[in-house]
Amino acid sequence: MKITTLMDDQPSSLFKNEHGLSFYIQAHNTNILFDTGASSLYLENARKLSLPIEEVDTLIISHGHYDHTGGLSDFLKINKSAKIYMQKDALLPHYHDEKYIGIDPTLDLSSRVTFLSSSKKINDHLYLLSELSYPQDGMYEGEDHHLDPFLHEQSLIIDEEILIAGCAHNGIMHIINAFHDHFHHYPRLVIGGFHLRSKKDLEGCEELAYALKKTKATFYTGHCTSDEAYKKMKPIMNDQLHRFHIGESINH
């Protein structure tokens, strides 16, 4: 299995970057795209890496925020056959305070997307973990602007060993514990953003680092994991924690 980062927040001398996330995953003779960044820039990086987006078999949308779905319209123009999975609540309006951060409301996804309302086993190798709820201050959903329960978030599990999260709005430890509840063991590898950006998040990130360390998993993080959070967690987790960067691949 090979996971290549197509988009991340960190500047790169060789690739375009933006506040967004996208991974290209090659596993079991299947090409999987996980999220599409905030724009079409991930496509430029994919071309530079000779990773053909038109040959993607499966697209997973982790949740309904622009920095994970902004390149979706360009994907639909290039790729005409991939199966696309997202939770149905991803289409609801989403806000950070008063700012709209949801999926482009003019985008017609009805003919291409399989909308889910729970976790789903895609095949013998791929499983989508959802059905978690973890409301956060400042994040809102729906026309009535209610606190977002993040039921639209899902994580990808490969071979019951590898966990790939988008932003882990539901809390990375909560997601890992849900993985453990379902498969009765911890993941061997965890990749994704941990959503550690606010002052409150930073106050608890050392405690989180000790909890993650106990799972004995290897972690790769970026996107919404701030530099300050990473610097606090790295000395605790040592070789269990790494950053992913655009253009780099993780082989397992």
Quick one: which of 69, 67, 78, 68 has its CA closest to 44?
Answer: 78
pLDDT of residue 197 exceeding 90, the answer is no
163: phi then psi, degrees, rounded to nearest 5: -115, 125
Token pair of 183, please? 């498969």
pTM above 0.95, yes or no: yes
For the domain bounded by 2-251, which CATH number is listed?
3.60.15.10
Reported confidence tier of residue 200, pLDDT bands at 50, 70, 90: confident
Type and span of the H or E element at 41: helix 41-48
Whole-number average pLDDT of the chain:
96
Token pair of 240, please? 């269990």
The pLDDT of residue 136: 83
Give the three-state DSSP class for 160. coil
Give the three-state DSSP class for 242. strand
Environment class of 169 (CB within 10 Å of its CB; exposed 0-12, middle 13-18, buried 19+): buried
**Eight-state DSSP code of residue 143:** T
Token pair of 131, please? 């059905």
pLDDT of residue 218 exceeding 90, the answer is yes
Domain boundary assignment for the chain: 2-251
Quick one: which of 216, 220, 213, 217 has its CA closest to 250?
Answer: 220
pLDDT of residue 84 exceeding 90, the answer is yes
